[in-house]
Amino acid sequence: MQDLKDVAEQARAYCSHQGAKGIDSLAALMERTKADWERCLEGMTEEQASFAPGEEWSARKVLTHFLKVTDGVNSGIKNLTAGQAPASTDEVDLARAGKTPDCETTEKMREGMAEVFDEIVRLTRALEGNAYLDRQFPHPAFGQMNILEWIAFQRLHGMDHMGQVEKNKADAGYPKA
C-alpha cells in the first residue's frame, strides 16, 4: 500500500502538471469530468443513490460532500481572481454561507453536478489574462496551490469520489434498477 505522503505528492504533481497545460486544456478537462460524472450517475434510482454498503458513504452523501467542497473551491478561486483573500480550506468554511447542496433526489444530484461543472468551466475560461493566476491558497494535504492547480484539483477530487460511487455500484448488495 502506498504511503499517504507519496499519494499526496503524486496528487500535487498531477495538479501542477495539469495546471501548467493552460486554460483551454483545463476547461476541456473540466468538461470531461462533468461528462464522467454524468455517466457515473446515469440511470441511478433513488434507492441506489441511498445505498451505502457497510461504513461507506452513499452516492447521495458523496455528492453532497463533493458539491459542497467544489462550490467552496470555486468561491476561493473567484476571490483570488478578484485580488481578494481566499476562503479557508476547511470544508465547513468552504461552503458558501447558507448554501447546502440539494441532493434530495437523483435529479437534483445530477443538476447540481452539471451546474457546478458549468461554473468551473466558466471560471476557467474567464481566467485568460487574469493578473492573479500565480496567487495561492493551501490544500490541507497538498500544500500551496495556485488557481490553475486548484482547477485541476477539481478533476482529481471528482475522480476520487466517482470511484466511491462506482465501488458502491459494484457491491453485491447494490439495488437493482
Residue-wise pLDDT tens digits, 114-127: 999 999 999 999 99
Please provide the average confidence, as pLDDT, over all residues in the chain.
89
Closest by CA position to 112, among listed 98, 104, 101: 101
φ, ψ (nearest 5 deg) of residue 118: -60, -40
What domains can you pick out in the chain, each with its CATH number? 29-170 (1.20.120.450)
pLDDT tens across 112-165, in order? 999 999 999 999 999 999 888 888 888 888 888 999 999 999 999 999 999 999
How far apart are the C-alpha atoms of 32 and 162, rounded to whole Å?
A: 13
Q: Mention every residue, 6+ apart, whose C-beta is less than 8 A from residue 141.
A: 4, 8, 11
Provide the pLDDT for residue 99. Answer: 63
Does residue 80 have a pLDDT over 90? Answer: no
pLDDT, mean of residues 2-23: 91
Task: Mention every residue, 6+ apart, whose C-beta is less than 8 A from residue 160.
Answer: none
The predicted model scores a pTM of 0.89
Q: Give pLDDT, residue 171.
A: 97
Q: Quick one: average pLDDT of 76-101?
A: 65
**Per-residue pLDDT at 96:** 44
Q: What is the mean pLDDT of residues 3-24?
A: 92
Could you report the per-residue pLDDT of 45-66, keeping only the tens digit for each?
999 999 999 999 999 999 999 9
Q: What integer pLDDT is reported at residue 87 of this predicted model?
A: 60
How high is the pLDDT of residue 1?
Answer: 58
